[in-house]
Each structure stands twice: as C-alpha cells, then as structure tokens.
C-alpha cells in the first residue's frame, strides 16, 4: 500500500542532513559544553556555531538566540519575560489573537489569573488579523503584542512586518510564534520589526524536543527553568548539544531551499486545493494566497473528522482534523471556531500538510481518496441525509 505522510504541520521526518549532523555529538564529542577539557570544548564550539547559524537564518546576532527544550517553552519564556518587564512599569495589558497555539493561549491564561488584562483579537474569516486592528487595541498599559507568524491548523500567514511596525512605533514589545514559518518562509527580524520569535526544530526536518527563542538584544529574559549558567543564565540545564546542532543544520538546509521548496509545494498544494474544491459542500479554511506553501485545510459538511482520518489512514494517508473527537475535548478546534465556522462544520475538518517531496501522483491519490471517503461517510450520515432533504440548512454552497 502507498504510504503518504501528509501531516507535516504536526511534525516532520528528520532530514538526512539533520541526522548526520547530530551523530558526532552523541558518539564522539559527548562532553558537557561547560567542561574545560577537549570533548567538552568541542561540544561548546559546536553549540556556539549552531547559535550563529540559527541567528544568521533570521538576520539576528548569535547572542540573541537562546536554545530551549521546544517551541512551547520558547513561547512561554517570551511571553512571561515581556509580562515581567511590563508589570515593573505598571503595564499589564497583552494583545494576542483568538487562534494562537495553546503554548501561547495557556500562558496568557496563566497571566490572566495573575491579574493581567488579555485582549484576544478576533480573526477574520480568511484567518488573518490586520495591523490596523492591532494598532487599535494598543493601550498605554500594553506591554506585549504576540501574534503567530503562520497558523498551525489553517496555515494563514499574518502581516508580521506591518504588525511589528505598529508595535515599534508605539513602543510595545512584539513576539511572534514562528514555529510553523521558520525554515518555510523568509524571516528577517530586523526588517520585520520582530522583538522576539519562537521556533521548533521538528517542524523543519530537525529533531523533536528542541527549539529556540530569539530575543532582541536589550530585552532581559525571565527564566522559565532555573538552574546553572547555561544560555547566559536564562535557561538552566545542560544543553542538548546533539539536537541543537542538528536543529541548526536542519534550519540552515531548509532556509537555503526556501524558494525552491516553496515553489514546488505551492504548485502541489494548489493542485490539492483545486481537487478538493470539487467536492460539493466543502470549503477551504483560510486565505487561498496568504498561506504557508504546504497546508490545505478543508471543512466538509455532514461528516465528522476523526472518521475521515481513520478511513484515510486505512488507505495509507496520514493527516489530521480539528474535530472534537480528535482533540479529546468537547469542542472542535478553537482555530476553526475563531474564523467563524459553526460547530457542526468544524467537526468535519481535514488538514493536509505536504512537503516538497510529494509528487503529483501523491496529490491525485489524496484527492481521489478524500473524495471517496467523504462520499462514503456521507452515505451513512443521517446529518447529511437531512442536509440533502432540506431538513437542515446547508452552510456551504455546492
């Protein structure tokens, strides 16, 4: 059976480059980077090279990069740091969006309990917030704006440079969760007015469990993990040298191919979207143009996402859904609700995230399989029957 991994937004398969890069730091240079003897110093050198390499990918300086245990940790640390800096000046208002990753939302939730005022901006039906809306929400006591670069479910890209410019003008720190963007889109922290940025290696063909936080020099970070003097005292714990080196190698490789891969992926993605568009009473989630090159996300009326996933898995296709049943929660994806999808439609969502190695045949196989599965499940769905018979109103057009 054909096996197609179409869940690259969840995580990616490590590239050869990334795997090869890490092995020497497990087999040979396994020393602690804080040790003075040679295996330790070799590790230290690699660590600092990795820092310089990661920085170069974003037009940042090496000392502005802090390695973390994952993207979630980087998000936590960025937000907590801005909050601590803000509250010292009596500024306890934070602006974000309703469709951030839980790494951001739950951190904000924690700050809210501490007495911070949180504004979550509404997201337009195309999955985008505007710089004007951010500007309008900024108050004298605003200490942070945090808006994701690209959404992990629907792939929409936010106007980062414009939002950054607004924040800069008003003197408010700007953080962006760039976990879905790094290695896939060109990022320049200076040009785009970004003060802090989070990345995670496993989204760009690097290993899981390692990430990084860029914090513009001058921003004093607050520790999320207390301990030794690693990461200039801002993140305790012996550095995960092998994975950090691997992340840097993966990022460098991905950034060197951004245009080439984006061109290939965009063509394939648009072929996929065009194919799935033909399924009646389904709709693409998120803007058609301002979206990462590898993401297609649809809602189909009358069926439920988890059953789609399981049937597709049976056909060798791995992907994901924002239905309540796949999240184990009672509500469907907060992202789909944020762009205004009603619950009954949000339950029937499907996210396919490809990579540049996909072929047109793969895409056509996915289109054919999804079309078949949607039809099959609709045929046994009393909800679909009601829609067809006019007993319940359709949300989408044919």
Ligand X SMILES: Cc1ncc(COP(=O)(O)O)c(C=O)c1O
**Would you list the DSSP string of 116-167?**
-EEEEE---TTS---HHHHHHH--TTEEEEE--SB-TTT-BBP-HHHHHHHH
Strands 295-300 and 282-284 turn out to be: antiparallel
Single out the segment in contact with ligand X by CB under 6 A; choices: 64-72, 250-258, 323-331, 382-390: 64-72
Applying CB under 8 A, among 323, 353, 355, 369 the residue interacting with other proteins is 323
381 binds, among other proteins, ligand X, none (CB under 5 to 8 A by kind): other proteins
* 193 within 8 A of 168, measured Cβ to Cβ: yes
Q: Kindly report the CA angle at 149 between 148 and 153, in degrees rounded to 5?
A: 75
| CB 196 to other proteins: min, Å | 20
* Residue 220: its H or E element: none
Q: For residue 325, state whether it binds other proteins (rule: CB under 8 A).
A: yes
What is the per-residue binding string for ligand X in 90-109, x denoting contact by CB under 6 A?
A: -----------x-x------
288 binds, among ligand X, other proteins, none (CB under 5 to 8 A by kind): none
By annotation, the residues acting in catalysis are: 325
- Region of residue 205 (left: phi > 0; alpha: psi -120 to 50; beta: else): left
Rounded to an integer, what distance in angstroms lies between the CA atom of residue 367 and that of residue 279? 9
* 198 within 8 A of 71, measured Cβ to Cβ: yes
Rounded to an integer, what distance in angstroms lies between the CA atom of residue 212 and that of residue 198? 6
Single out the segment in contact with ligand X by CB under 6 A; choices: 16-24, 154-162, 165-173, 174-182: 174-182
| CB 326 to other proteins: min, Å | 8
Positive or negative: CA dihedral 191, 192, 196, 198: negative
295 binds, among other proteins, ligand X, none (CB under 5 to 8 A by kind): none
**Which one, of 169, 146, 149, 168, lies nearest residue 158 by Cα?**
149
Rounded to an integer, what distance in angstroms lies between the CA atom of residue 168 and that of residue 360? 44
Beta-bridged to residue 284, according to DSSP, are: 298
Strands 4-5 and 93-97 turn out to be: unpaired
What is the per-residue binding string for other proteins in 62-101, x denoting contact by CB under 8 A?
A: ------------------------------------x---
Q: For residue 179, state whether it binds ligand X (rule: CB under 6 A).
A: yes
* 193 within 8 A of 174, measured Cβ to Cβ: yes
Single out the segment in contact with other proteins by CB under 8 A; choices: 3-11, 81-89, 193-201, 329-337: 329-337
What is the per-residue binding string for ligand X in 190-229, x denoting contact by CB under 6 A?
A: ----------x----------x------------------
Applying CB under 8 A, among 54, 210, 302, 374 the residue interacting with other proteins is 302
| CB 138 to ligand X: min, Å | 23
**Which one, of 145, 154, 217, 156, lies nearest residue 185 by Cα?**
156
> Where does 240-339 show beta strands of DSSP type E?
282-284, 295-300, 317-318
Q: For residue 372, state whether it binds other proteins (rule: CB under 8 A).
A: no
Applying CB under 6 A, among 47, 70, 309, 335 the residue interacting with ligand X is 70
Which residue lies nearer to ligand X by CB, 46 or 70? 70
Which residue lies nearer to ligand X by CB, 34 or 223? 223
Q: Let me know if 89 is exposed, middle or buried by CB neighbors in 10 A (0-12, 13-18, 19+).
A: exposed
125 binds, among other proteins, ligand X, none (CB under 5 to 8 A by kind): none
106 binds, among other proteins, ligand X, none (CB under 5 to 8 A by kind): other proteins
Q: For residue 10, state whether it binds other proteins (rule: CB under 8 A).
A: no
Q: For residue 152, state whether it binds ligand X (rule: CB under 6 A).
A: yes
Q: Which residues bind other proteins (CB under 8 A)?
A: 98, 102, 105-106, 108-109, 112, 118, 120, 302-307, 310-311, 313-314, 323-332, 334, 337-338, 342-344, 347, 380-385, 392
Q: Which residues bind ligand X (CB under 6 A)?
A: 70-72, 75, 101, 103, 148, 152, 177, 179-180, 200, 211
């Amino acid at each position: 059976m054909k096996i197609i991994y179409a869940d690259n937004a969840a995580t990616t398969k490590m590239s050869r480059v990334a795997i090869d890069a890490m092995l020497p730091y497990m087999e040979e240079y396994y020393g602690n980077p804080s040790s003075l003897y040679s295996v330790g110093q070799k590790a230290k050198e690699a660590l600092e090279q990795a820092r310089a390499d990661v920085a170069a990918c974003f037009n940042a300086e090496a000392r502005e990069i802090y390695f973390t245990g994952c993207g979630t940790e980087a998000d936590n640390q960025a937000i907590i740091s801005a909050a601590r800096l803000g509250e010292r000046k009596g500024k306890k208002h934070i602006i974000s969006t309703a469709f951030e990753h839980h790494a951001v939302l739950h951190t904000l939730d924690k700050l809210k309990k501490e007495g911070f005022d949180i504004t979550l901006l509404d997201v337009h039906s195309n999955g985008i917030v505007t710089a004007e809306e951010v500007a309008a929400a900024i108050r004298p006591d605003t200490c942070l704006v945090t808006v994701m670069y690209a959404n992990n479910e629907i792939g929409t890209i936010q106007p980062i440079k414009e939002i950054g410019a607004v924040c800069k003008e008003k003197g408010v720190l700007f953080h962006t969760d760039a976990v879905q963007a790094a290695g896939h889109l060109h990022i320049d922290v200076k040009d785009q007015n970004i003060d802090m940025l989070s990345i995670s290696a496993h989204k760009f063909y690097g290993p899981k469990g390692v990430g990084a936080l860029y914090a513009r020099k001058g921003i004093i970070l607050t520790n999320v993990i207390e301990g030794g003097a690693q990461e200039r005292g801002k993140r305790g714990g012996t550095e995960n040298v092998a994975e950090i080196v691997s992340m840097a190698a993966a990022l460098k490789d991905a950034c060197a191919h951004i245009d080439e891969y984006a061109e290939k992926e965009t063509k394939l993605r648009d072929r996929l979207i065009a194919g799935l568009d033909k399924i009646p009473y389904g709709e693409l989630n998120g803007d058609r143009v301002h979206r990462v090159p590898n993401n297609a996300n649809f809602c189909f009326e009358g069926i439920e996402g988890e059953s789609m996933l399981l049937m597709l898995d049976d056909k060798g296709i791995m992907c994901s859904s924002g239905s309540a049943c796949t999240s184990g929660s009672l509500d469907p994806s907060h992202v789909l609700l944020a762009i205004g999808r009603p619950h009954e439609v949000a339950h029937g969502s499907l996210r396919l995230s490809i990579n540049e190695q996909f072929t047109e045949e793969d895409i056509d196989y996915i289109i054919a399989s999804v079309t078949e599965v949607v039809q099959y499940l609709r045929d046994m769905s009393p909800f679909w029957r009601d829609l067809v018979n006019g007993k319940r109103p359709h949300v989408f057009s044919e």
